[in-house]
Amino acid sequence: MMPLEVIRVLDLTRLAPGPFCTMLLGDLGADVIVIEEPPGVGRRFDIGMSERAQAFNALSRNKRSVGLNLKEPRAQEAFLKMAEGADVVVEGFRPGVVKRLGVDHATVAARNPRVVYCSLSGYGQTGPYAGLVGHDINYISVGGALGAIGWPGTPPAIPLNLIADFAGGGLYAAFAILAALMARQQTGRGQWVDMAMSDGVTSLLASSASQFFSGGHSLERGVEFLNGGIPAYNVYECADGKWLSIGCLEPWFWAELCKALDCEQYIPHQGNRAMFDEIFAFLRGRFQERTRDEWFAELRQRDICVGPVYSLEETFNDPHVQAREMIAEVPHPEFGAVRQVGVGPKFSETPGAVRTTAPKRGEHTVEVLREAGYSKREVDEMVEAGIAG
């Protein structure tokens, strides 16, 4: 048994945030049905993705695929019939698109009042930016994160699209959907979840926002305790050109680091900015004396917050990552055992699992439409007319 195996999700999303949200639900057992355009219909950003690349695409795993051209009334009706038996609908279009397609929250809820309908967008369904197009870089700009990443006097450093797309968007949406499902147990009713990625980014800044609201402190690049401004919480290049991360914020961890590096004179000056230039110079020179892995092997034996800065190859070769089962293998009929990232949360009684690789586009159209009550003849007619496929 898996935690969400009784939950059926209809997934209308594209690109990263929505598919990551439904991947998380699928990993925990939800029956995720992706609604895609039939072959030859619509625009797809992943045009040209090889079958092998698709097999390794974790965002599409544990899902079934149905091809429906939602610009056609019969396809809209087919979706609504599917929604009658669904627990969750997730869409990631710009505000107003699902209404034009006839599959908006009001229309779906009229057929299924218990449905949890999540609209995941850049700026939400309301507000002056609601209609703006955008990507992670734009959402972390408006949300308040990008301006605090980087070094003083330099442009903001652009991170991978983890903060808005995956954390403030996909992960936050999955959390909100599960909360709405819990509420449904109490009320018997579903609801509409309006999840803006920019809102998610700002929410992730809760601690920093508290400092701003209480004392007017606004984050600056590279000068804060947690974004590179202090020696105790920083990265250092080692003799082999690789980097080591130090996170000794607590005084006792800092003291232990200073003892290990033979610089006990700096123990009282952990937060003394007047001494930072001297401390930085010493630590940078000291870490140049050995390789990254030599330093990690030594310092990890003591009560010191230390970690090697890994490439992805190093991460997946790390014995701890492997022991935590963060590499999953799933069989594929053509490519054999396909490796993907593992399931994050570990459950003692109802663990999640990677069960299937990404489906082919429209692979389950007939199967799912038959489950929705259509006869084989009706499905064949829709396929022949290009409405389904």
**165 in active site:** yes
How many whole angstroms separate alpha carbon 111 and alpha carbon 105?
10
Active-site residue identified among 135, 293, 303, 318: 135
For the question of residue 105 being annotated catalytic, the response is: no
Q: Which candidate in 165, 194, 199, 364 is catalytic? A: 165
Give the catalytic positions in this structure: 135, 165
